[in-house]
A and B are shown apart, each in its own frame.
Chain A
């Protein structure tokens, strides 16, 4: 089953493109000290706002720092934050959704009302509040997203679990004498997780974009941290004189988000196609195979 799906995934060209780009980003991020041509923090005002050249492949910013190196080091902050945030969101949302769906009753209601609050709470307001109390930092912004974005995952998992609970193979597992934990883990989780995988991939992309956004308005990473959002923010002043300062971080954010989105969509298609029925091709009528 899994081998089949991997083969299908390989055929999704756009998804593979996305995955390749992701791999490049990850590689560059991990090996940043080796890959980056210069020190991202080296300030040299004599070399400020240079156009791309051999020493500085993408030019320099207003403080003479190598833009490419800053972008590469920026991968670390962006990707790490995005992945950690998504993992935390999953850790919070998936179990809550499963409990809500499987146990039902007042617990279900309670968890769903929490989810409603989390979904409707304005993120900017919460970010401002958090920053006001604990100061601006990427970790704080990340926590804001975790606290607000677990809700859609919980809801999706819950509705999958509710659907699955009544399916015959789950009843068969009960009739087979399996324990509730075993049923939850082996039968329900496996089948509830496919939409989650896709959503998680797409969520990573969303976190990257939102963190950049908050850093842009000064609530996230702070200068001199090499962060894409910060770079975007810095570039505003030089929009007319040196628009490249805006272009490079903007393009990078777009590329990263696009890569994750493409990969996620490809995964989605594969997982949906896998559960389809090829019966008409084999001449059957779907029912009897």
Chain B
């Protein structure tokens, strides 16, 4: 379908929250990533891996300590608050459903109309029509307009979050753990909704999740992060994964099938403190296959074959 344009480019981005500490601890370390227009990129990792920080930096909700962020080939790294305001309608985020995703004093109508009011010059009736139409698209209806967030269930709140993110018809949407805190049945529904809306509006997604099944279902490509570094990039998380951490993640995934019970495999070295080592590979402390070189040199992210990159010394000598 012709050459794919990179909608988002992340070049050499680092994020350090406590810059005065020595040695510095990076929440995000040397991340290089391109998100193609129209793709669904998955971002997988556990707490502390830096995925939320990365997502916020793409939207400039946080400032990178180092590196550049490009959106639609524009370098937005140094954009001021007001410069960003001009383009925020093109990039949106569905936040993780928590009690803090919405202003507790706001009704659904206020929640969804906030972005609309910032960018649209239409009349009140037209705006209201748009809002109701979006509510219907996410499977709700106009009776929800007067409700408050604490009056709705987790699944309903999640859908309001999606409605809020899409009301401006952005090009790029970050879904941060958008299906993490809901039941199975709803999860499936929402994933289907996200895919439908992607077709309808021609969206590009960054889908952040720790749910490997969900990620495999809707993503074109998956990036795996550990303690701020990208350790692997692969089309799907399956038996082809190479990095020891990704292997451990896969092994730790619980399949809802009692016939496929995981044998007692040891995933990695237990009981070790999860800390960013001063030098060498970021996974060395827990890796079952750590060699001498892993403790001194950080492995680069190297392409094994098309679409599959791994950052691990084990595979760098092939």
Do A and B bind? yes
Binding site for B on A (CB under 8 A): 1, 167-169, 171-180, 186-187, 190-191, 275, 277, 284, 287-289
Q: Are B96 and A168 in contact (CB under 8 A)?
A: yes
B150 at the interface (CB under 8 A from A): yes
Q: List 18 A-B pairs, Cβ < 8 Å.
A: A167-B100, A168-B100, A171-B95, A172-B93, A172-B95, A172-B101, A173-B103, A174-B61, A175-B61, A175-B115, A176-B88, A177-B89, A177-B119, A178-B118, A191-B105, A288-B182, A288-B183, A289-B156
**A178 CA to B115 CA in the complex, in Å?**
7
For the complex with contacts A177-B85, A277-B99, A287-B154, 12 further pairs of A-B residues with Cβ separation under 8 Å are A169-B106, A171-B56, A172-B93, A173-B114, A177-B119, A179-B85, A190-B103, A190-B105, A288-B154, A288-B155, A288-B183, A289-B154
| Contact partners of A187 in chain B: CB under 8 A | 103
List of A residues within 8 angstroms of B164 by Cβ: 172, 176
Instruction: Give the shortest distance, in Å, between B20 (CB) and chain A (any CB).
Output: 14
The distance in angstroms between the C-alpha atoms of A140 and B268, with both chains bound, is: 71
Query: Least Cβ distance of B60 to chain A in Å?
Result: 9
Q: For residue A287, which residue of chain B has the nearest CB?
A: B181
Task: Kindly report which residue of chain B lies nearest to residue A282, judged by CB atoms.
Answer: B153
Minimum CB–CB distance from A192 to chain B (whole Å) comes to 11
Report how many residues on chain B are interfacial, defined by Cβ distance under 8 Å: 37
Complex Cα spacing A85 to B92, Å: 45
B104 contacts A191, C-beta separation under 8 Å = yes
Residues of B that sit less than 8 Å from A by CB:
56, 59, 61, 81, 85, 88-89, 91-93, 95-96, 98-106, 114-115, 118-119, 148, 150, 152-157, 164, 181-183
Give the CA-CA distance A263 to B243 in the complex, in Å.
Answer: 62
CB of A252, distance to nearest CB on chain B (Å): 38
- Residues on A with C-beta less than 8 A from B81 are 180
The residue on B at minimum CB distance from A284 is B153
Question: Whole-angstrom distance between the alpha carbons of A284 and B88 in the complex?
Answer: 36
| Interface pair A175/B93, CB less than 8 Å apart | yes
Q: A168-B101, A169-B103 are in contact. Are A277 and B150 (CB under 8 A)?
A: yes
When chains A and B are docked, how far (Å) is the Cα of A139 from the Cα of B150?
Answer: 46
Complex CA distance for A190 and B104, rounded to whole angstroms = 9
Please give, as numbers and ranges, the residues of chain A lying within 8 Å of B95 by CB-CB distance. Answer: 168, 171-172
Complex-state Cα separation, A120 to B114, whole angstroms? 43
CA gap between A275 and B104 in the complex, in Å? 9
Q: Which residues of chain B come closer than 8 Å to A180, judged between CB atoms?
A: 81
Once A171-B61, A172-B93, A288-B182 are accepted as A-B contacts, the answer to whether A177 and B88 lie under 8 Å apart by CB is: yes
A171 to B161, CA, bound (A): 13
A186 to B111, CA, bound (A): 12
Shortest CB-to-CB span from A17 to chain B, Å, is 28
Alpha-carbon distance between A191 and B99 when the two chains are bound, in angstroms: 13
Instruction: Find chain B residues with CB under 8 A from A174 CB.
Output: 61, 88
* B88 contacts across to A, CB distance below 8 A: 174-177
Residues of B within 8 A of A176 (CB): 88, 92, 114-115, 118, 164
